[in-house]
Amino acid sequence: MGKQVNFFLLPEDLEVVEEAIRSTGPVVFLPDVVPEPRIKTLPSIELPKERMGMEPLRVYVTRPDFLPRVRFRHVPAQGYFIVEPGSPVIELNRNFFDGHRIRHGRMYFYTGPDFDPEFVRWGDKVLKGVRKVLVRSPESKTEYFGPAALEWMRRTEAKTYPGVAVIRGAI
């Protein structure tokens, strides 16, 4: 079980989303993978266009007071550690953008039985804040768009398909 928001964002939309996340109070951003099972933080969720394809798209969001409960799982075949599913974090999958298509992104957090209600309340507040700064898709009602993504779609006449927004003829 979980809660999520699905979206199409360009790299410049991440600033708007980060502001919405930070408006909920103190937050910490964590990378997708780490070389050892220790907390490492990121200064931001931003991903410059020139780094697209060179950095993992997934990051995690949590509050500083939840950090002691974040657990890691070793992935021996890859030689790194990931955040253990069920840790008190919001998974943020940023969108891949190559100039022709935007792949679907999302924010998601787990809400299973016996999960910390304080974390769930905070997670709901974060998702609500993010939804407020994005525009809901009139076609699907479950996907949202950042301001820059909407402008790009209007300018290029891009269309949405399941999981991707694409300029006509770029599929």
Distance CA 115, CA 38 (A): 23
Q: Is the pTM here over 0.85, yes or no?
A: yes
Which tokens go with 77? 């075949």
- In 3D space, the residue among 15, 5, 168 whose CA is nearest the CA of residue 101 turns out to be 168
Distance CA 3, CA 134 (A): 17
When divided into structural domains, the chain yields a total of 1
pLDDT for 171:
52
pLDDT for 42:
95
Whether 159 maps to a domain, the answer reads yes
Whether 10 maps to a domain, the answer reads yes
- In 3D space, the residue among 96, 66, 99 whose CA is nearest the CA of residue 84 turns out to be 66
Which tokens go with 83? 């955040």
Whether 98 maps to a domain, the answer reads yes
Whether 103 maps to a domain, the answer reads yes
pLDDT for 79:
92
Task: Write the CA distances from 18 to 80, 84, 136, integer angstroms.
Answer: 27, 23, 18
Query: What strand order describes the sheet that includes 80-83?
Result: 33-34, 80-83, 72-75
Give residue 153's Cα distance to chain centre: 20
Range of the domain at 162: 2-166
pLDDT for 126:
98
Distance CA 2, CA 130 (A): 16
User: How many residues does this entry show for the chain?
Assistant: 171
Angle ∠(99,95,80) on CA atoms, nearest 5: 120
Whether 78 maps to a domain, the answer reads yes
Whether 171 maps to a domain, the answer reads no
pLDDT for 112:
82
Q: Position of tokens 């787990």?
A: 110
Residue 16, CA atoms < 13 Å, CB-side half-sphere:
18
Whether 17 maps to a domain, the answer reads yes
Residues of the chain with pLDDT under 70: 140, 168-171
